[in-house]
Amino acid sequence: MLLPECRLKGALQKVLHRRCAAMGKLQSKLRHSTYRYRPDGITEDRIQARMVQEYSPAHVDSVSVVAALTPDLCVSGGRDKTVVAYNWKTGNVVKKFKGHEREITKLVCLPKSSQFFSASRDRMVMMWDLHGSSQPRQQLAGHDMVVTGLAVSPDSSQLCTGSRDNTLLLWDVGTGQCMEKASVSRNLVTHLCWVPRESYILQSSEDKTVRLWDSRGLQVAHMFPPKQYIQTYCEVSVDGHKCISCSSGFEGEGCEATLWDLRQTRNKICEYKGHFQTVASCVFLPRALALAPLIATSAHDSKVKIWNQDTGACLFTLSLDGSGPLTSLAVGDASSLLCASFNRGIHLLRVDHSQGLELQEAAAF
């Protein structure tokens, strides 16, 4: 009995998918939309979707966080409770680390090292080594609720952790001992990052503020003016002069990123508005990518946007249709971004200047 043509095609496609997946990579045309913004800032040009490589998946469930470990390796974590080291240039899992009992929430890598820390809803922080055992080198317990912030000092000697329990803890990386503890009422931590070459730690909060902490005694050194919505994330520029924070929101209300001055004035410099749901992550892009300084944001509206840092103009939007909320963004190398998503794993994005500024999806894993 002959199969109808549509069923025959479907069966052949499934066989082909399985064979290609076994080889590690699959070429497929994924549905996503890209837009280049014209100088008038109003009209946008739709650009045809390109071919995307499907690599072997890093995780079996949604991905919460991704971070760059080396120029070709990233580490990621999510609902499957596993931390994965992945070579995003070849499309291969390098190593898996298991030890957490609940979802991974944050990751931070030690500068110029094979070591990194993970945080989880199980209230634990664990230290791992890419070249060591698949078991944690350290297990740090000190928070009463989910750990939502990790930051390593520039000299890798200290680790700061934050939680929804309103506390920050400062740890000695060498000994694993807690050295300082600070608590601020209603300060539900959403993210932490250490200011380069400084003793200061930047922290975003569910109380709609961004705080600057001095690690010498773990005291609040400055608090930026509160925003209208929860501040979900924060990032510091490589030179340590500026920082960005991201806002929650819905239907375009809130949903912005804000650029702040970290030097003497500590004023708001610029806002980046255009997302329609919570902005979950933001990064400063490498200066080599363009003449003007750029930042990138990812949001729960499945969109990644590139902005002119100085003017606030949105230069390009990539819509990763079907990916659900975009949860984390990291710089891979001088022209690559890694974007974690709720539905489709991690996306490898390329910044291209061959026909004007474009952001293209190159692979997914």
- Residue 170 CB burial class (10 angstroms; 0-12, 13-18, ≥19): buried
Q: Indicate the pTM of the whole model.
A: 0.88
CB of 79 closer than 8 Å to CB of 64: yes
- Residue 93 CB burial class (10 angstroms; 0-12, 13-18, ≥19): middle
The DSSP annotation for 173-222 comes to TTT--EEEEEE-TT--EEEEEEPTTSSEEEEEETTS-EEEEETTTTEEEE
**Residue 10: CB atoms within 10 Å:** 12
Token couple for 333: 């190398």
Which residues, including other chains, have CB under 8 Å from residue 182's CB and lie 6 or more apart? 167, 168, 213, 218, 219, 220
In angstroms, the CA 252 to CA 274 distance is 7
Dihedral sign from CA coordinates of 14, 20, 24, 25: negative
List the chain pLDDT tens, one digit each, 365 residues.
Answer: 333 444 434 444 443 444 344 434 444 444 455 555 544 443 344 444 568 999 999 999 999 999 999 999 999 999 999 999 999 999 999 999 999 999 999 999 999 999 999 999 999 999 999 999 889 999 999 999 999 999 999 999 999 999 999 999 999 999 999 999 999 999 999 999 999 999 999 999 999 999 999 999 999 999 999 999 999 999 999 999 999 999 999 999 999 999 999 997 789 999 999 999 999 999 999 987 667 899 999 999 999 999 999 999 999 999 999 999 999 999 999 899 999 999 999 999 999 877 788 999 999 99
Token couple for 246: 């991201």
Which of 272, 285, 271 is CA-nearest to residue 353? 285
